[in-house]
Structure 1
């Protein structure tokens, strides 16, 4: 696939980038170089390569999902401007 000057102008327009006429030719060469490099990547044999999300192994550290603190509603609500029935009371903002 190759990019021509009209395509470079169209891409610049879509990206909201203002280009002068003398800037189109260098960008055309650069985009064509990028696309040819991407085409070369398609030639690489990836059979037997496992998909990965990072280049280093990331293992999640699992822990028990237990409550380690809590059961202190009076202490939690002590600094609240207003509390009702063990919950924070806030003014109504939508009518």
Structure 2
């Protein structure tokens, strides 16, 4: 069983501020999850192929071919903002 001190340590590492009540609550909830995972570990899955989905899925894709745009001016006319022969886009700030 996970205790409150372990939850406190993980919360500290994740830079989370939890109340004592939340630490107690999460200790109980996380212990339940770990107990369930332990039950799953008891299953024999040696004949089960690893998968990411319950059903097979196939993407339908086309070949990516570079093709020049014939009507450059028509394309630029669709732009919400332009600067001569270029699209004008909003500046992206790198400040966090």
* Common topology (TM > 0.5): yes
Change over 3 Å in CA distance of 1:67–1:31 after alignment to 2: closer
Question: Is 2:76–2:87's contact at 8 Å kept on the other side of the alignment?
Answer: no
Moved more, 49-58 or 62-71: 62-71
Change over 3 Å in CA distance of 1:63–1:17 after alignment to 2: same
- 1:39 deviates by 1.0
CA separation in 2, counterparts of 1:11 and 1:68? 52
Q: Secondary structure at the match of 1:36?
A: helix
* In the alignment, structure 1 residue 29 sits paired with structure 2 residue 31: no
**Matched residue, 1:47:** 46
**Matched residue, 1:62:** 61
CA RMSD of aligned residues (A): 3.3
Runs of 4+ in 1 over 6 A off after TM superposition: none
Q: Give the structure-1-normalised TM-score.
A: 0.59
Count of aligned pairs: 85
Segments of structure 1 that go 5 or more residues without pairing to the other structure are: none
Segments of structure 2 that go 5 or more residues without pairing to the other structure are: 92-96
